Chain A
């Protein structure tokens, strides 16, 4: 049994290594794609483009405008009429307009000054966050003006009670987005490639009709599946760790605090689970096109529910439960905990058990289905 398994594995490896364009694409997936992906999705407010229509043109309004600063806001221009405000928002030059009425200066002195914020709701998530920031700006400015007027704030002056916050951010003190995004890209590539390579290795045999050769050979379904998995499980985790070291740590200077050995070990288990999922798809699909469709149907919900883009704690009960059935959800949690927080097995054993259990279950189910199909 060992010899025929070894022969089959050798065949799989040589098939993989003969497709040179594909190897180049794989290399890009774990280098260039991770690098560009590192600059990707950020859900915080940064350089949010605003346009100002200042009808007051007074010191008070100028001071207010000066508070819309980077890194949160970027003043892209001034409007001189209502039409210009509308045009700037319609064309998307600005996502937010600040309109300051002519009586702003006088009202600010006497109390009750108002300014208007017009937010582009087509970016609803960002509009909400920006609104929160501006509320903060308005309050801070109000408090400062009150203190100035009441003669407070300076030494020996009257004092008002205020709560300040002194933030400390653990693990990523400056909240550098690239640390997070580049690692997420490694996880995404690992997931997609593990599924795709395994699915393609199997569907190819069906498309070319060579699956009949394999079925009449002494190879058993379990061995066939194992042979299809071995090259994927051997190569993808290595590429993953190499990418973490070279791009995430090397190019973006992300601190790696945890044990790489633990990370590698669990990545092997994860790739096994995802490759098994790829094989399960391959059992159902007749050709690569069909396999791809099914793969996408699994891949995108899995990516969006992985907890990386949207916090699991904010999802409804249904989506949270569905998320727990996805190995990616456990792996993303595991990966950030080990690499960023330096957590050991004592913290992540639940995620590891989750990945392992899901992987074994998927593998056994797909082997059994395949065995029944060929009988």
Chain B
């Protein structure tokens, strides 16, 4: 039985080696994606275009607006005349935030009163809207603090440590908050969920389309021999892909890596077995290569991109998102990858994730074995 698995694996390997363009792309494309995204893409929300309607035009209001000019998060794009123009700028997308400073801004502040500034935000991109509101609040708070300190000094109530509460921030695991340390390991998980399953999803359906599946039907190889034999070389390709990306990320990108390479490799091997199996399962269900590819996109690739936690932590997703996240292997591998790259420490915290990946593999291969029938229909 082992011989038959190896024979099929040998046939698949030879077929893979005979299409060097395909094989080359299978290694080059993930790497190119990583280079492009890891180096160039910025996830930070900064340089937001902000416009000002200043009804006051006093030193106070200018000082307040200066806070925005000097912030890296905003870029002042214009002084506007009134609310109609402000709406128009938001509508046309020329400004994402408009500050409306009331005419009594300076007078009220100099009279030690509270004053409210109107903030209009473009909500058509809600995340960005919320982030920009947070920034506006931070800039305004900073200005209020300055005012308050000045007031306290003026009233002789300022002592060295009078500010009641202060916070100290320390960042663990990625102290400089560099986004490459966050994006590149994340992209490793995504890339290994894109290419391997798409490759293996074509395996059975391609034979079906070209008719060579009949050879398999007539061969003495059992269903399990065929599934395992086809999976084997592709798991190897996926694992080599992982090693390549891992090497590039650590040596070329200088991504922080503090954990155990063995733990990461064990996770990657399990994950590769899962993703190849998922592709095979899809392959047994579909009749054309096109359908198999589309199904892989929808069942494997898209959920990994959306729910694995690369952009939004699983805990911050809503109920549907958390449910989907628990069903896909990418979430568990993401846990192992981020841990191994950034957190370090022992393997113990990641055992549940490894067990989840192994369970997933068992389910997927059992499914593929059951769904693959040696029958012409």
Contacts and interface: CB of A to CB of B under 8 A. Distances in A.
A49 B312 CA distance: 12
Interface stretch (B6-14, B86-94, B263-271, B354-362): B86-94
Contacts, number: 397
Contact of A33 (B118, B287, B302, B321): B302
A122 B173 contact: yes
* Residue among A139, A176, A311 having the largest count of chain B Cβ atoms under 10 Å: A311
B48 interface: yes
B238 interface: no
A129 B134 contact: yes
A300 interface: yes
Interface in B101-146: 108-110, 112-131, 133-138, 140-141, 143-145
A373 interface: no
Contact of A314 (B45, B290, B321): B45
Interface in B142-158: 143-145, 147-148, 151-152, 157
A335 to B, nearest CB: 10
Given A112-B166, A114-B168, A301-B33, 19 more contacts: A19-B290, A36-B324, A40-B307, A43-B45, A116-B168, A121-B342, A124-B179, A142-B163, A146-B164, A161-B113, A168-B118, A169-B129, A170-B91, A170-B124, A196-B294, A207-B210, A301-B37, A313-B48, A337-B93
Contacts of B376: none
Contacts of B210: 207
Interface of B: 19, 21-22, 25-26, 29, 32-33, 36-37, 40-49, 64, 75, 87, 90-93, 96, 108-110, 112-131, 133-138, 140-141, 143-145, 147-148, 151-152, 157, 159-179, 181-182, 194-195, 198-199, 202, 209-210, 285-291, 293-295, 297-298, 302-303, 306-307, 311-313, 315-318, 320-321, 324, 335, 338-339, 341-343, 345, 349
A301 B36 contact: yes
A139 to B, nearest CB: 5
Interface residues of A, number: 125
A206 to B, nearest CB: 12
Given A118-B172, A314-B44, A318-B40, A143 B144 contact: yes
Given A112-B161, A163-B115, A288-B289, A170 B49 contact: no
B122 A112 contact: no
Contacts of B339: 90, 92
Given A117-B168, A310-B41, A91 B175 contact: no
A6 B145 CA distance: 73
B128 A311 contact: yes
Contact of B22 (A37, A117, A293, A310): A293
Nearest to A347: B92
A21 B25 contact: no
Interface in A106-146: 108, 110-129, 131-136, 138-143, 145-146
A180 B168 contact: no
Contacts of A47: 315-316
Contacts of B345: 90
A163 B133 contact: no
A337 B297 CA distance: 28
Given A26-B294, A114-B167, A168 B42 contact: no
